[in-house]
Amino acid sequence: SNALTTAGAKTCGVGVVLVLHPPSGCFSVKRTIADGPAHRAGLLQGDILTRIGAQPLTNFPKERLPSLLLGPEGSSVRIAYLRDGQSYPAEVDVVRSVDAAKAQVSIRPARVVLHLSEAAVRRAALTPAQLASSLRAEAVDALATRPRRIRVAHVRPDCLRAEVHILPDFDSIDPRPVTALAAQLIAQARDPHSALRA
């Protein structure tokens, strides 16, 4: 049985993404989920977390962070952090309310592999970088989303393939999940009347 759940309670987190901060051996905030518990508690990008609950984070294994951050919905965890070169950490209590399973899905990019038309690639006569830029602009238009949500990687005109990464919108300006945009991009790529097929 999962030690993080009790009496059918949902396992929740605090809505924060952490990365290793090598100078301190601790972890810094890469981002918080907009209006999530960590965001509402005042944690900011760049804050250096020194302790979660009673556990100091110096040289703490990253793969064990979920054991500290996740817990039953409505429970709280105290987080100590440093900001802007402070000497002594501030502390904040954060209530767990972000559904862990949904949060993991929402913060991961989606990847769509597009198969390119040989005739269109020949007709355009673009370098891979130019082709990537053109595909990105077309995907942004086709999905009516923010340019920062679309990245084109691994453009292979010789193999007639391109990989499109759809990123989450942490500012919540475009709240559609990456999975919905990926499905829409696939549908557009299959539609013979779509700009993506031109």
Question: Rounded mean pLDDT of 21-26?
Answer: 93
DSSP 172: -
Q: In terms of pTM, does the model score above 0.75? A: no
What's the CA gap between 49 and 89, in Å, rounded? 8
- Evaluate whether 170 touches 151 at the Cβ level (below 8 Å): no
pLDDT 10s digits, 92-116: 999 998 765 555 555 577 888 888 7
Asked which of 44-48, 137-141, 154-158, 188-192 is least confident by mean pLDDT, the reply is 154-158
C-alpha pair distances (Å), 80 with each of 45, 50, 84, 171: 14, 6, 14, 25
User: Could you tell me which residues come within 8 angstroms of residue 110 by beta carbon, excluding any fewer than 6 positions away?
Assistant: 165, 166, 178, 179, 181, 182
Provide the 3-class DSSP secondary structure of residue 140: helix
pLDDT 10s digits, 128-166: 888 889 889 989 998 999 898 899 987 876 777 888 988
